[in-house]
Amino acid sequence: MSNVSASDVNNSEDWLLRVDDLSVHFHTPRGVVQAVDHVSFEVRPGETLALVGETGCGKSVTARSIMKLVPEPPGDYASGKVMLRNPATGAVIDMLAAPMDQVRATRGDRIAMIFQDPGKALNPSLTIGRQLAEVFGEHRAQMLLTNAGIDPAKAPLGSKSVASQRAGVIRRSFFNLTHRGQSRALQAAVDASVIDALSDTGIPNPRKVMSSYPHELSGGMKQRVMIAQALACDPDLLIADEPTTALDVTIQARILDLINDMQQRRGTAILYITHDLSLVRQFADRLAVMYAGRLVESGPALEVLRSPQHPYTQGLLAAIPRAGTPRGQLAAIAGSVPQLIDPPPQCHFSSRCSFSAQACTNHVPGLIPLPVAREVACLRFTDAVSLGVNQEQMPSHVDLIEVESAEAVSS
Ligand SMILES: Nc1ncnc2c1ncn2[C@@H]1O[C@H](COP(=O)(O)OP(=O)(O)OP(=O)(O)O)[C@@H](O)[C@H]1O
Ligand code: SF4
Ligand SMILES: [Mg+2]
C-alpha cells in the first residue's frame, strides 16, 4: 500500500489515469448490453485503487476499455474519455480518441495488464521464451546490453525510443549484431532475464517453460507467465484483473509481493480488480464498488470497509464468511444482478434493496460526495424526504454507519 492519503486523492489534479463518464455497450441480437454505464474515477501516481463488485458487473470491461481492447463490434464506446497523463511531461492521451499507433505504443509501455483470462492474452504461436524476450528487448534494452557487456551507446537500435517505433525489430537486430560473440552474449543475457522473471513468479523449471507454447501450460502457469510479462514492462499503471485467481495461496502471496516491490521501486499505480476484500484491506489505498455497470460507492479503502454506506456494499461485506458463522447462516444478498440489456431507468439495486421506495424505481442515482473523500450513489443520501425514500436507518452525512461485519474484514 502506498502512503498516498485518500483525502489528497479525491478531486485532485494530480492524477495519472482519469476515466470520465465511460459507457461501454455491446450490441447483441437480444438487445444492447449496457456493460459499463457512465463510470468515472481517477487513479493517482503510485496509489492502488481496488475495484470490486459481483460477477458480470463490468469490472473487466472497464479494465479493457482503459487499454482500448474492447472488440468493436460488438462493443461500442458509447460515451466518455480514458485519459492517461505522462507524469514527466504532463501530456495527456485520451486512449479512446487517440490514433491507434499512439494507443498501441502506450499499451505495454505505460500501461500493462494482467488479464483475468491468461489463455487469451498469450500468443499461441510463439514460445514463452520468445514472447518474454520481446518484452525485455522492448522495455529493458539498456539493461540487456549492459548485462551482455555491450556498450549501449554503440549498439544498434539500443534506445527505447527506437524500440518503441519498431516493436519486434529490436530483438532481431540484437541477435544480428555483427560481432558473433556479442550476439551470443546478448542471447545469454536475454535468456537469463527471462529465466529470472519466470523464477520470480515461482514457476518451476523455468528453462523448460521458456521453450513451451502456451497450450502446453496449465492455467496457473500461464497466469504467472503473464504476470512476469506485465512486470517486465515497468509500466506507470498496472491493471491487475483478478491476477491470482488461478493460483494457490502460497504463490498468491509471492505474486502480491512482486507487484508490491514493483510499486515501491517504480512508483507504479495499480488498478486492482478482485473479489477478495481481505486483499483490498491489505493492499488498496482506495476502493471503488461497482454494481450492474455503475459505480455505487468509492472512498479510502479502510473507511469504506469499516463503514460501508451503499446498501449493496453493506450486503457484500455482510456476506463475508467469518470464523464461527454457523453453516447455512451466511448473509447472502437476496435476488440476483439485473440483466444489463436495456435496463430500465431506475436504481439497478432496487429489486434487492431493503430500503427501496417508489423514488428508487424512477431515478438512476448518481454519485454524490460524502465527508472524508467518499462518494455514494443512493437516493437515501439525496433529498430523501421529497423523494419519499425509506429513511429507516438513514445515515447522517457525518455520523456514518458502522457495520458489524465490516469489522471482521478490518480486524
Ligand atoms: N463481447 C461481449 N458481448 C456481449 N456482452 C459482453 C461481452 N463482453 C462482456 N459482456 C457483458 O458485459 C458485462 C460485464 O462483463 P465483465 O466481464 O466486465 O464482468 P466482470 O465484472 O469482470 O465479472 P467477473 O467478476 O465474473 O469477471 C456482462 O454482462 C457480460 O456478459
Ligand atoms: S437508491 Fe433506493 S434502491 Fe437504490 S440503493 Fe438507495 S435506497 Fe436502495
Ligand atoms: Mg472480470
Q: In this predicted structure, what is the pLDDT of residue 85?
A: 96
**pLDDT tens per residue, range 199-227:** 988 889 999 999 999 999 988 889 889 98
CA distance 195 to 183: 18
| pTM score | 0.85
1-104+237-411: CATH superfamily: P-loop containing nucleotide triphosphate hydrolases (3.40.50.300)
Arithmetic mean of pLDDT, 355-381: 90
Arithmetic mean of pLDDT, 254-276: 90
Q: Give the number of the atom of ligand 2 that is nearest the alpha carbon of residue 347.
A: 4
Q: 307 CA distance to ligand 2 centroid (A)?
A: 17
Arithmetic mean of pLDDT, 6-32: 80
Residues 6+ apart with CB under 8 A from 375: 295, 297, 298, 299, 367, 368, 369
CB 94 within 8 A of CB 81: yes
CA-to-CA separations, 204 to 189, 199, 255, in angstroms, rounded: 20, 7, 14
Q: Which of 296, 353, 362, 367 to mutate to test the pocket of ligand 2 (most atoms within 8 A of CB)?
A: 353
Is residue 308 in contact with ligand 2, taking CB distance under 6 Å? Answer: no
Q: How confident is the model at residue 329 (pLDDT cuts 50, 70, 90)?
A: low
Q: In this predicted structure, what is the pLDDT of residue 352?
A: 93
Q: 33 CA distance to ligand 1 centroid (A)?
A: 9
Arithmetic mean of pLDDT, 339-355: 91
Q: 117 CA distance to ligand 3 centroid (A)?
A: 9
* Cell, residue 70: 474492447
Average pLDDT, the chain: 82
Domain boundaries, the chain: 1-104+237-411, 119-234
Q: 60 CA distance to ligand 1 centroid (A)?
A: 7
**Residues with Cβ within 6 A of ligand 1?**
26, 28, 33, 35, 53, 55-61, 74, 116, 340
Q: In this predicted structure, what is the pLDDT of residue 205?
A: 94
Window from 57-71, 246-260, 315-329 with minimum mean pLDDT: 315-329
